[in-house]
Structure formats: C-alpha cells, structure tokens
Amino acid sequence: MMKAERLREILQILNGDGAVSVSDMARRFGLSTMTIRRDLIDLQQQGLLARTHGGAVLDAAMHGYARYESGTFEERLQVQAAQKRAIAERAAQMVSDGDSLLINAGSTMTIFAQALKQHRNLHVVTNGLTVAQALMANQSASIFVLPGMLDRKKMSTVLQPDSNTFTDLRPPSAFLGVVGVVPGIGPMMADPVEAAMNRALIDAAEEITLLVDSSKFSAQAVHRIVAMNQIDRIITDDGISDQDRDMLINDGVDLIVVAAQTGDARGVAA
C-alpha cells in the first residue's frame, strides 16, 4: 500500500472512531511503530489530527464534523438548520426573475432552491437531485440536471471535470456549497473528484457566491477547489469568528453575514 493510501485510511478510521493508536495501526498495516508515528506527524502538520501519547485523536470540532459528514442527507438538513435557512433566504434576494443559475448539491443548496419557489422563469443547471426536486415546485423553472455517477449520501451526480458537459456551460451566476472554507487559502472539498468538479463549475460561471454556515470555517477538508481570489462573495451566519471575518475581508471577498434567527443581513466587505 502506498503512503497516500495509508494516510487516507488512517483518516477514515479517525473520522469513524475519533481516535487511533500507533500499535493498532502498526498491526493493521504490518509496519513499524516508527513509520506510523511519522504518518501521524505528517497528518498533524496538515492540521488533520492532534497527536496523543501512543496515538492520535480528532479534536471536538473535527470529530463533530466527521459525524456530520457520515450522516444521512436528512440528518444534514437538520444541522445548523436556522443558519442555513437565513443564508438561503438572503441568497434568494440576489436572484431575479429570468436569471440563469448554476447550483451545486448539498443540504444548504437544497434549502436555497426551496427559497426560490416564488421566482419566475429561472434557468437552473445543477448536479443536486434534491435541488432539482425542490425546484420542481416552481412550475416556471427550467431545470437541467448534470449527468454523472450517483452519490447517494449527497444525493448528487458526480462527473469528471474533463467531461464534454462543461464545454458549453457558461452560467452568469453560480451559487455553491462547499465542505469547508479556509480564509487566505480557499474553499475546500473532502474528495478530490468533487473538488475538481466544483473547480470546473467555478471556471464556467462569471460570478461565484458561496453559501456556507459558520461551522464550515472549522471543517477539515484537504482538497482546495480554487484560490480565494476566484470567489466573489460569501454568505454566512453570525457565528463566524472575528478572525475569519477579518481574513476574508482582507482576501477581498464580499462578505455578507446574516443573523440566524431573523435572516437580517449586514454586508462587511472591505
């Protein structure tokens, strides 16, 4: 087994159990404890775990997010629900009747699609099955679902970024959900294929708006989609830390913060 594969498997075990021991991993992979310790050091340097005496753990925020990632789609809809609704409602205010939009998959994006039910004559491209389902309630909406392999956990289609499908795709606006956002670095995904696909979606659109609740700023994802300077706008909730807020403003992002209970928004762009 290659080292990269071994590191991914260690992370999968951590995501499920929250902790690993050096001795258990050494037995599992048939390697020396010294090799496993070096692996854990590498992962710690990437900010993916915290080393302990004899092993490693995910911290509380990371472990909570791992549980979220392993949950069903219905369970995800209930996490940060008020924040997601407030973000979605604010994003819907930016959409006009007749607009052409690209919307990717995810729980936040499904709630966003629900918030568009009063808009007329929208033209929407999406890889989200639940997004398309929500938009079906809007009888005037034109919906194109991107082809690809079915991801049952995220209720989406996934296709390779070199697909001919992307060649003539040029939507004016893209509203996207992502696994995580690292200020100063960019939006992130946990899976390299999903990262590449979302990179293709961003390259296709003229204006990019991310819809991310504040928990996404502590989510641990390792595959960057694009640099932060390719993102025009982020809509998030007031749980965002002052440090993350300041860094995003320094990145030149148009940052809109909504109050989770009321949906009231205040722009804080530089």
Q: Nearest-5° angle of CA 234, CA 238, CA 240?
A: 70
Among the listed residues 6, 12, 19, 9, the one whose alpha carbon sits nearest the alpha carbon of residue 51: 19
Radius of gyration of the chain (CA): 19
Mean pLDDT of the chain: 86
Supply the pTM of this predicted model. Answer: 0.74
- pLDDT tens-digit readout, 6-29: 888 888 788 666 788 999 999 999
Note the pLDDT of residue 93: 97
Q: Is residue 145 classed exposed, middle or buried when 0-12, 13-18 and 19+ CB atoms within 10 A define those classes?
A: middle
Quick one: pLDDT band at residue 217, thresholds 50, 70, 90? confident
Residue 270: is its pLDDT beyond 60? no
Q: Tell me what pLDDT residue 92 has.
A: 98
Is the torsion defined by CA of 196, 200, 203, 205 positive or negative?
negative
